[in-house]
Structure 1
């Protein structure tokens, strides 16, 4: 096993996750089996109970693991399936150690705070250490890796340090002192980086690279420039252009099986599409945590992936759901009218998942507006549930229609949305219906069945504890709200479509978790196609794009094309 450690310095949030993902993409493009591990030094067991405003979204894996959003980057870039063990937290380690100590597994021995590395089936493991070097909570991990490099041998271990090269506006000069200080601290802790990935606003000058090389004790050709680009799809190309594949192969004695050229050409085409989309489409994202972009990072990536497939530049308008509410409006009337103006200008509406009562009436209102005005609508998890509640209120005439999650009195009546029987309310975290589940198509008269390429079932990831009440499904379907996808036992409503509407779809699962840059999630693809008026022709063509120049086919080319160099200059 070969290990590549990616650490960070100066400040957090400078792109360690994207760089780690890009390295994995390059290794995989050479025919190697690759996996990734994210280490988070916090004491939480997992990310399941985090506030979206503090840590961004919670990413859900196939096995139900609730993990850091960086694992979503790994899966999207490398197109791999990770597991909850790929996310290590200090809390998870402590819990494991304490449980073993209570069982007497250590037989009275002293337990030290280090990280052990087991042999894994993949050939290359990219390990990202969260936070920055010098954080007190990350010290045990740094010490563990200091010991680990000798245990596995230097030919099997490579350290890449990601550091910021600031460029103050006053002088415009790129400053290396913060990077020098970060490397000095890392070396003082016993880790000498083999590569330094310098994050900067503009490409590094030769003088700056030489300075970093000289004062950080790293060869000039291993000082990598990762400047700001138009999109993250450029990063694998940027690294490949600096001969990272060859340098890593020499250092780790890697035996590459295939040429990376065809894989990189697909990334090049992807980046080219992103920059040269011929039309815009406006999507209103009506959510509860829209002030922080990372709260809906997978949702936004899924929209971008669908837009790339349709040769569209997706412009996402983020709208706080409670800004659409009238009765509970506590903000200024200007905020209310601005929110509605944004909604009315949009070509499509997306209502994502969420928890808690705040903003639920705004989501219901958004679903009502999209339904009544024939605007394409996609409801994910809570977005499906609120669309069902709205339909019950305004089509079936059940004015008290609501969810048990928000109305205590609903537990005594007949709510549209009910708590799942197996939901464990005895603890916080890990109590929901989590992970990959099978959804069976009930009928072939379904838009989603076509978008999923006419399969009998799909495997999608879930994260919820409430569901549509099966008691009212017949009433809803009589009025045109069809539940075309069910769980294996037929009890859970997984996919909803509104008959006669251009595109009004709700899914109980989270398709964004499995969306990939070159393989967009079907529900999101349907939303973008409907918002651009192309859904009917897409289905008529057998779910393939028109071969004319103004549309790209969903398949990406394996052959070299005469595309411009997209990595030579920043955005």
Structure 2
């Protein structure tokens, strides 16, 4: 992986980090979307992630948790967060963004997902009270958040989910007082999205915008993410 493509003015490069599976509805939907996106997309299995993932102009950690290599996924998220690479995490990408921030910034070295370790000493990610597999649900956006701006500052919307795990309620208050801010909730005030306001683009959502996208009607969150990826590529190319 090199920066030569961006330097030559070629298309921006996006890494889809996760383990491709026909059992994941999101992966099939992404297959249909990719040919219609103005970006070079590479599927990167979790077992293939190295520090060179930082050569991409954008990183999207896609659904499919638990991943074959959890630590590699956390590395990709940390590099995106620390180096300003646009990041989108949906479902598992949301869960692992919480874990990475908890470990690296908040001091919870053992922050984990019970899908990896049912007896985790610091269970950040636990089963939802009500499964959201294949469900649509209301989403309430934080006022003045970056996510709300993407939705033209509406108060609420409806999103599609396919997930059974989320943030442990015991740690919600921890994130309410951190820089990785909770920026959307469900009707029961359970966190459904987070963002880093001072980052070029860093958003994690429990819902899956890819599931409600078609080639002719791409979800606004994905559009905003791809715009940030393109800007990153242009900025890097200008440095050469």
Match among 202, 206, 212 for residue 514 of structure 1: 212
1:380: which partner in 2? 90
**Kept after mapping to 1: 8 A contact 2:146/2:197:** no
Match among 410, 435, 438 for residue 135 of structure 2: 435
Q: Secondary structure at the match of 2:113?
A: coil
Give the gaps of 5 or more residues in structure 2.
1-8, 233-240
1:400: which partner in 2? 110
1:381–1:477 CA distance, 2 compared to 1 (3 A)? same
1:416 and 2:115 matched: no
Give 1:290 shift: 7.0
**Kept after mapping to 1: 8 A contact 2:97/2:204:** yes
Match among 19, 22, 46 for residue 288 of structure 1: 19
RMSD over aligned Cα atoms = 2.5
Structure 1 distance, partners of 2:173, 2:151, is 25
Structure 1 distance, partners of 2:187, 2:82, is 32
**Kept after mapping to 1: 8 A contact 2:110/2:122:** no
Equivalent residues in 2 for 1:59-458 (5 A)? 280-289=11-20, 296-302=27-33, 305=36, 307=37, 313-324=38-49, 339-341=50-52, 343-410=53-120, 413-422=121-130, 433-443=133-143, 445-458=144-157
Give 1:291 shift: 10
Give the gaps of 5 or more residues in structure 1.
1-277, 308-312, 325-338, 424-431, 535-571
Q: Secondary structure at the match of 2:98?
A: helix
Structure 1 distance, partners of 2:62, 2:180, is 19
Structure 2 distance, partners of 1:303, 1:441, is 28
Work out which structure has the larger RCO, using CA pairs closer than 8 Å and 6 or more positions apart in sequence: 2
1:151: which partner in 2? none
Structure 2 distance, partners of 1:359, 1:283, is 20
Give 1:323 shift: 2.4
**Kept after mapping to 2: 8 A contact 1:374/1:501:** yes
Structure 1 distance, partners of 2:129, 2:103, is 25
Give 1:507 shift: 0.7
Q: Secondary structure at the match of 2:65?
A: coil
Structure 2 distance, partners of 1:382, 1:366, is 13
Q: Secondary structure at the match of 2:174?
A: helix
1:532: which partner in 2? 230
1:487 and 2:186 matched: yes
2:168: which partner in 1? 469
Q: Secondary structure at the match of 1:524?
A: helix
Aligned length: 224
**Kept after mapping to 2: 8 A contact 1:378/1:506:** yes
Q: Secondary structure at the match of 1:409?
A: coil
**Kept after mapping to 1: 8 A contact 2:114/2:126:** yes
1:405-463 superposed Cα distances (whole Å, 9 cap, x missing partner): 111212xx44111112345xxxxxxxx533211101122x2222121122221211111
Structure 1 distance, partners of 2:160, 2:117, is 27
1:289–1:346 CA distance, 2 compared to 1 (3 A)? same
Give 1:499 shift: 2.2
**Kept after mapping to 2: 8 A contact 1:402/1:416:** yes
